[in-house]
Amino acid sequence: MKLATLRLPRRTAAARIDGDHAVEIGRPDVGALLADPEWREVAAAADGPWHPLSTADLAPVVPRPGKIICVGLNYRTHILEMGRELPEYPTVFAKFAESLIGPYDDIVLPAVSQVMDWEAELAVIVGTTARNVTPEQATACIAGYSVLNDVTARDYQTRTLQWLQGKTFEATTPFGPYLVTPDEVAGTPMTVECAVDGEVMQQADAGDLVFSPAQLIAYLSEILTLRPGDVIATGTPGGVGHARKPPRYLADGSKVVTRVSGVGELVNTARRHG
């Protein structure tokens, strides 16, 4: 099953994707849907108004998650090729909901930074409350997967040892287009890819993650309670602009395509503001 949040006149609506159409579920967004313990049954049975997917205006799939937790240094091959040791524990930081944009919205390049960088990521959306769960139990806590680009202001990120200020600029983080339930991608490789102006910059198999989605949920649930609609961005592979020689960053008009095979694709244009 695939779910999305539609932008409609004066409201939003959670929808199930049926072929070329989006079918309203009767909830204001996917986050609100996930708050219902019977969300799978509700979504599967819904038969609300239909909308052509070709003209649908999609919001971030979960517009206002209670938590957005991101993971750094999580692709095994990239870590080893840089001569680093594999981490013992996940490196985690946060973003805020104000940073999120829809899957086809413009990425805002803020006036205060000239070094905005791309970071393609597989996103995990939590479907049930999780506290002190094991990795085996954590698998059942995954509502589904989505695509996220953790666009980063590298200069603000490196101003201090804490990364948050470079990671959560407003209207910089495309997220969506869908929540894809685990059964839809079971047994198939998920390739994470980012192309900028038609050139593939990042490409890696999500199977190369040091800490899997279930391991991340288990670890984070030791720290705090994860709730339905919370989002975990699992990390980005090699190929970011900041590491290139010479470095390369997003410019006004840059087209950024972020995809995870079997999950979906984001298509965004960077626009300079101010």
Residue-wise pLDDT tens digits, 201-219: 999 999 999 999 999 999 9
pLDDT over 90 (residue 256): yes
Q: Where in the chain is the domain with CATH 3.90.850.10?
A: 62-272
Confidence of residue 274 (pLDDT cuts 50, 70, 90): low
**Cα-Cα end-to-end distance for the chain:** 41
pLDDT band at 79 (very low <50, low <70, confident <90, very high): confident
Instruction: Indicate the CATH number for domain 62-272.
Output: 3.90.850.10
Q: Are 240 and 258 in contact (CB under 8 A)?
A: no
68 close to 149: Cβ distance less than 8 angstroms: no
| 3-state percent helix, strand, coil for the chain, nearest multiple of 5 | 20, 35, 40
- Torsion region of 140: left, alpha or beta (phi above 0 gives left; psi -120 to 50 gives alpha): alpha
pLDDT of residue 77: 84
Kindly indicate the confidence band of residue 145, based on its pLDDT and cuts at 50, 70 and 90: very high
Statement: residue 82 has pLDDT above 80: no
Segment 149-174, tens digit of pLDDT: 999 999 999 999 999 999 999 999 99
Output the pLDDT for position 83. Answer: 79
| Complete DSSP assignment for 2-19 | EEEEEEETTEEEEEEEET
Q: Residues 121-130: what's their mean pLDDT?
A: 98
Amino acid at position 11, single letter: R
pLDDT for res 273: 81
What pLDDT, on the 0 to 100 scale, is given for residue 18? 97
**What residue has token string 């390369």?**
248
| Both tokens assigned to 41 | 């049954």
Task: Please say if the pLDDT value at position 81 is more than 80.
Answer: no
Residue 263, pLDDT > 90, answer yes
Q: What percent of the chain has pLDDT over 90?
A: 94
* pLDDT score at 64: 98
Cα–Cα distance for residue pair 27/59, rounded to 1 Å = 14
Contact assessment for residue 81 and residue 213, using Cβ atoms and an 8 Å cutoff? no
What number is the average pLDDT over the span 23-52?
A: 98
pLDDT value of position 230: 98
Residue 182: strand, helix, or coil: helix
